[in-house]
């Protein structure tokens, strides 16, 4: 992705504009998800029944681990790891931009072929991780119907507010903005998927632009969740950081969510991430096809 951006003069000259569009879509998607999360939390989770559902999930998590979840014990180190992962991703993107901009690529070299192979590898990794992780299977066995409202709030709030933001972005259609929002902070998969799927209809340059917007918007969403989790809990309830984190609340943003919400919300956070994670390739592909 970085090499494609750096080797395209039009995109490098408009990177600030793309960054502004990314910020708008990221802020819109995050705001929509936390507003829906506030309503779901106050309506279904703040009472005794909601607390009992959370406690049941915490008990199941403790039974599987045989102790307090490690996330609670190693919050600081894991949160540092989250920042490291995000910074490494940004660094790799910037390095690729410099390589694409400053190095003469061999004649006939097609940068987008690399992205296609990476996309195949990412899709394989998603399936492998989901199919081989025993915690995911155990988490799904503990599902209560009311818990489904958490990912529904994330999907609905994000897509609704990204749709509203599309009216401010005349360069992109409603479906383009919804495709970006459907990344739900899963920036590596969504950005490459959008670039590949939109190349036929938009052309390579415009598709790469949209892929860059998806990359930056979803990285920003992850950063906003890590930094803003305590604020979200204070003003929007304990589901807000979970919905804001999208697909990342099972890994990179889980320490921030746990620290802000408490370890009893780990189960809800992981269940939410499993479903949102699964939805990303399907929703992104669907909106890219429209």
Predicted confidence (pLDDT) per residue in 19-54, tens digit: 999 999 999 999 999 999 999 999 988 765 455 556
Look at 9 and 13; give whichever has higher pLDDT. 13
Of all residues in the chain, the percent with pLDDT exceeding 70 is 63
pLDDT digits (tens, 9 = 90+) for 144-166: 778 899 999 999 999 999 999 99
Residue-level pLDDT at 255? 86
Select the more confidently predicted residue: 285 or 83: 285
pLDDT at 62 over 90: no
Q: Which two tokens stand for residue 41?
A: 């939390």
Average pLDDT over residues 247-266: 88
Q: Cα(100)–Cα(95) distance, rounded to whole angstroms?
A: 9
- The pLDDT of residue 140: 59
CA distances from 79 to 30, 34, 92, 141 (A): 20, 21, 20, 28
Q: How confident is the model at residue 88 (pLDDT cuts 50, 70, 90)?
A: low
Angle at 26 between CA 20 and CA 28, to 5 degrees: 105
Look at the block and give the residue holding tokens 């899709």. Answer: 123
Assign 3-class secondary structure to the chain.
CHHHHHCCHHHHHCHHHHHHHHHHHHHHHHHHHHHHHHHHHHHHHCCHHHHHHHHHHHHHHHHHHCCCCHHHHCHHHHHHHHHHHHHHHHHHHHHHHHHHHHCCCCCCCCHHHHHHHHHHHHHHHHHHHHHHCHHHHHHHHCCCHHHHHHHHHHHHHHHHHHHHHHHHCCCCCHHHHHHHHCCCCCHHHHHHHHHHHHHHHHCHHHHHHHHHHHHHHHHHHHHHHHHHHHHHHHHHCCCHHHHHHHHHCCCCCHHHHHHHHCHHHHHHHHHHHHHHHHHHHHHHHHHHCC
pLDDT digits 0-9 by tens, 187-215: 888 988 999 999 999 998 899 999 999 99
What angle (nearest 5°) sits at the alpha carbon of residue 174, between those of residues 149 and 284? 55
Q: What is the reported pTM?
A: 0.77
Q: Per-residue confidence at 113, pLDDT binned at 50, 70, 90? A: low
């Amino acid at each position: 992705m970085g090499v494609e951006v750096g080797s395209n003069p039009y995109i490098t000259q408009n990177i600030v504009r793309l960054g502004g569009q990314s910020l708008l879509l990221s802020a819109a998607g995050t705001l929509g998800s936390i507003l829906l999360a506030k309503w779901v939390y106050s309506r279904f989770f703040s009472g005794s029944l909601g607390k009992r559902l959370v406690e049941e999930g915490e008990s199941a998590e403790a039974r599987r681990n045989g102790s307090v979840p490690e996330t609670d014990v190693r919050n600081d180190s894991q949160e540092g790891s989250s920042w490291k992962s995000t910074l490494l991703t940004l660094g790799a993107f910037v390095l690729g931009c410099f390589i694409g901009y400053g190095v003469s690529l061999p004649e006939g070299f097609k940068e987008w072929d690399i992205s296609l192979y990476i996309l195949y590898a990412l899709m394989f990794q998603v399936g492998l991780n989901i199919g081989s992780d025993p915690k995911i299977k155990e988490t799904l066995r503990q599902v209560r119907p009311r818990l489904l409202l958490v990912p529904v709030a994330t999907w609905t709030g994000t897509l609704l507010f990204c749709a509203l933001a599309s009216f401010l972005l005349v360069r992109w259609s409603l479906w383009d903005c919804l495709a970006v929002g459907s990344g739900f902070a899963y920036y590596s998969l969504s950005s490459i998927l959008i670039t590949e799927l939109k190349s036929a209809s938009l052309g390579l340059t415009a598709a790469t632009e949209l892929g860059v917007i998806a990359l930056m918007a979803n990285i920003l969403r992850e950063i906003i969740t890590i930094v803003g989790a305590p604020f979200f809990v204070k003003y929007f309830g304990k589901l807000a950081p979970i919905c804001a984190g999208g697909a990342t609340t099972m890994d990179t943003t889980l320490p921030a969510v746990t620290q802000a919400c408490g370890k009893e919300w780990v189960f809800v956070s992981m269940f939410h991430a499993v479903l949102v994670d699964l939805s990303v390739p399907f929703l992104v592909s669907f909106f890219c096809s429209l």
